Structure 1
Amino acid sequence: MSEFLNASDAARRLGISIKALRLYEQRGLLAPIRSDAGWRAYGPGDLERASEIVTLRALGFSLAQVARILKGDASGLEPALAAHQGALEARLRELVEAIDGVRALRGDLAHGGAPSASDLTRMLALRPGLHVAFALPWPWGGEPFELRDIRPLTYVTGPLGSGKTRLAMRIADELDGAFLGLDRTADPSLMSTIAPTVALLVQDGATDTPALRALLTGLETTTPVVVDLVEQGLDKPTQEALIALLRRRGPDAPPLFVMTRSSSILDLDVLGPDETVLFCPANHAPPFRVAPYRGTPGYEALASCLATPEVRARTDSVIAVRR
């Protein structure tokens, strides 16, 4: 059994969590053997298959899509590859711009010029992106807040009563974007536009519901969008299919902010480089970004705010009251 690894060592080698390995097994994507004592043991074949799953997840595929691809079904592969190509091309453009900037500064130095601090700062800012800066609304005390380098997909979360809804609405105002509240309804004029997307999601296991169509029509815009509890009215398979789709929007898509407390929407094990988590603490300290790595500031508090769709369904009617 020396060539086999236990779950902890296998997860460490793959750079994922034990929870992710368990999930892959539950979905029938992995089948580790059991030791005489009943412990899972992952051999070379299991690690190779798990590595393929991790790579496909990084491309934005849901687990249902991963299962089809591993069986040789390439349907749905083109949109993900196109989005990945777009992300690579965007990074290439950033690098070319940075190289041009460095070349210009070296040219100035060769002719006796000296770059200023602002010149050097601009050169190092490979991903300037959008940013917002404002005084935090109630329940905060007006502290200054700044969010730089806004990524294509930002999750906003926090415990009940933490002020995340007010923060999200303020971000929408500052970006001149749209805020989709919980009372969203589908725009009849956009039904034909979203029909291919609905069909793709249904193929990936989603349930075609009015809530899903209302959300999709609300996302049909070229401006930034902030969505209040994106999982509202969506079952677990639909949430999983939806977030896989949103991850494939690409770096040139307008910024999307999704408020959520669902672990199916915000899966800390699969966050990509174009995704950010914005956390609102329970004590009304200023919101801050949380890196998706255990032991980083705010990670444990963030993880405690997330729950499965089944658990979230039991707390839908809970209302936080500030006395």
Structure 2
Amino acid sequence: MSSSSARFLSASEAARRLGVSAKALRLYEQRGLVTPTRTDAGWRSYGPGEMARGTEIVALRALGLSLAQVARVLQGDAAGLAPALAAHQALLEGRVRQLGGTIEKVRGLRADLARGQAPAAGELARLLQPAEGFCIAFELPWPWGGERFELRGIRPLNYIVGPLGSGKTQLAIRLAEAIPGAAFLGLDRFASPGAALAPAVAEALAWLVEDGATASDALVALLAGLMAEGPSALVVDLVEQGLDEATQQALIAHLRRRGPEGRPLFLLTRSCVILDLAAVDDEESIILCPANHSPPTLVAPYPGSAGYEAVATCLATPQVRARTQGVIAWRPEAA
């Protein structure tokens, strides 16, 4: 292979280097943001120019710009950058304040040591270890046998998956009951009558539509629930219900941009678009409800990890979900 050809990457290699999923890279291509070359065999190939363009796209997306806004910026219209940079500045300033507080604690400990006063038990451990977030524990409902379930270090974005009849809906409801101040967003959200959109919901809807989503009653009702003020956390039943593939892609990208400061979301899902295993990061977790009714477990998003294959088999494309919509698990009555 020549040195020049070695500079070109396959789609999977390009996605890995850019830190995005292969699906995201294909979406950028579909929207005309990046155009890979093709090999003689027809495979996509990304050279230095395409990778530089991809890096720009990833950076703009990280700032919270929609795909339509990204396209405009790449064409020379920077109007959408001002609010995005302002929001990013606010986020960085918040982290600086948090870091400043930690520095003050270190300074205080050093002053205590200079006076001959040793740190209290556990003080150094709390200082050096990152905050784990709040934790919950409760006894599991049916179909389990009352085993104790603990969830530590709850992430901003959490997925609940499992096959039909695994108890994932019961777990979701119990989570909403156990987390102080949390709310459960059930499927009855789709039956709510239409109403005037709150400004925040209208803004989010416009952003999603620019990102390729299809406006619908299902999407509006979901956004209204997700953006409701008050709950400390939200548990959402079948978040993808009523949403096509493009809308799901836009929605999950939008939810990921909330950052680590966003209130925890628990998304019950059967969609490989919502839960793209290749895109799960450190701010997300996967909770699997096994088919044999063993207690739910956390699954790492890596092939070969315990439970990974079970999670993968629970996820389906929107086309498959459409064929199985309305299929439910049932419990036979005791004789």
If the length of structure 1 is used for normalisation, what is the TM-score? 0.84
Q: 1:142-164, CA deviations, whole angstroms, 9 ceiling, x for partnerless residues?
A: 22222223233222222222222
The question of 1:131 aligning with 2:135 is answered yes
Q: Structure 1 residue 112 and structure 2 residue 116: aligned?
A: yes
Aligned counterpart in structure 2 of residue 143 of structure 1, from 147, 157, 169:
147
- 1:270 — aligned with what? 279
Question: Which position in structure 1 is the counterpart of 2:185?
Answer: 180
1:159 aligned residue (145, 157, 163)? 163
Q: Is the 8 A contact 1:201 1:242 kept in 2?
A: yes
- In structure 1, runs of 5+ residues without a counterpart are none
Q: Does 1:36 align with 2:40?
A: yes
Q: CA–CA distance in 2 between the matches of 1:141 and 1:125? A: 35
Residues in 2 aligned to 1:60 and 1:292: alpha-carbon distance in whole angstroms: 24
Work out the CA distance in 1 between the residues paired with 2:63 and 2:306: 27
Count of residue correspondences? 323
2:229 alignment partner AA: T
Deviation, structure 1 residue 214: 1.7
1:89–1:260 distance in 2 versus 1, CA, 3 Å: farther
Task: Tell whether the 8 Å contact from 2:66 to 2:207 is kept in structure 1 after alignment.
Answer: no
Aligned residue among 214, 221, 232 for 2:229: 221
Cα distance in 2 for residues equivalent to 1:312 and 1:68: 34
Deviation at 1:83, TM superposition (A): 4.8
Deviation (angstroms), 1:76: 5.5
- Counterpart of 2:205 in 1: which secondary structure? helix
Q: Partners in 1 of 2:235 and 2:218 — Cα distance?
A: 16
1:44: how far off? 0.9
What is the alpha-carbon root mean square deviation over aligned residues? 3.0
SS at match of 1:2: helix
2:310 to 296, 301, 304: 301
Determine the structure 2 residue equivalent to 1:6: 10
1:311 aligns to 2:324 (yes or no) = no
Quote the Cα distance in structure 2 between the aligned partners of 1:213 and 1:39: 39
- Structure 1 SS opposite 2:150: strand
Structure 2 residue runs without a partner (length 5+): none
Q: How does 1:232-311 map to 2 (within 5 A)?
A: 232-311=241-320
| Cα distance per residue 1:68-107 (max 9 Å; x no partner) | 4434455655565455444434433333333233333333
Over the matched positions of the two proteins, sequence identity in percent amounts to 62
TM-score in terms of structure 2 length: 0.81
* Alpha-carbon offset, residue 48 of structure 1: 1.5
Cα separation, 2, equivalents of 1:79 and 1:4: 35
